[in-house]
């Protein structure tokens, strides 16, 4: 019984961070979406910029879903790549809101 509990705890410790990272990526996408629509609402993002941002956001979501299909979790390399892409996307939102 102790071995089973130990194995369950070890498995949880190993797999939970990767599953949680997929949730973190999704939560970040949601926050970025809110930033975009706040910019549209206050007029700092125009229609052409919104179209470009929506296209890039869709590409990021598709990449996340594609990576999750491989086994239901993100590898450290996939997580790092998605984070870099989201950093670039975040900078684009910032520039569009302040042009």
Per-residue pLDDT of 61-78, as tens digits, reads 999 899 889 888 888 999
Number of domains within the chain: 1
- Output the pLDDT for position 24: 77
Q: Which is more confidently placed, 85 or 12? A: 85
Q: How confident is the model at residue 1 (pLDDT cuts 50, 70, 90)?
A: low
Number of DSSP helices (H) and strands (E) in the chain, helices first: 3, 0
Q: Residue 45: CB partners within 8 Å, gap ≥ 6?
A: 36, 39, 53, 96, 97
- What's the pTM? 0.71
Give first-to-last CA distance, the chain, whole Å: 62
pLDDT top residue among 47 and 16 = 47
Q: Which residues span the domain enclosing 27? A: 2-97
CA–CA gap between residue 6 and residue 70 (Å, rounded): 27
User: What integer is the mean pLDDT of 73-88?
Assistant: 92
């Amino acid at each position: 019984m102790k071995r089973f509990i130990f194995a369950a705890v070890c498995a949880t410790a190993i797999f939970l961070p990767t599953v949680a990272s997929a949730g973190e990526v999704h939560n970040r996408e949601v926050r970025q979406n809110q930033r975009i629509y706040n910019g549209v609402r206050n007029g700092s993002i125009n229609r052409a910029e919104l179209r470009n941002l929506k296209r890039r956001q869709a590409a990021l979501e598709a990449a996340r879903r594609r990576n999750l299909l491989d086994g239901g979790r993100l590898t450290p390399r996939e997580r790092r790549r998605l984070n870099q892409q989201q950093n670039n996307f975040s900078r684009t939102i910032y520039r569009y809101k302040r042009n």
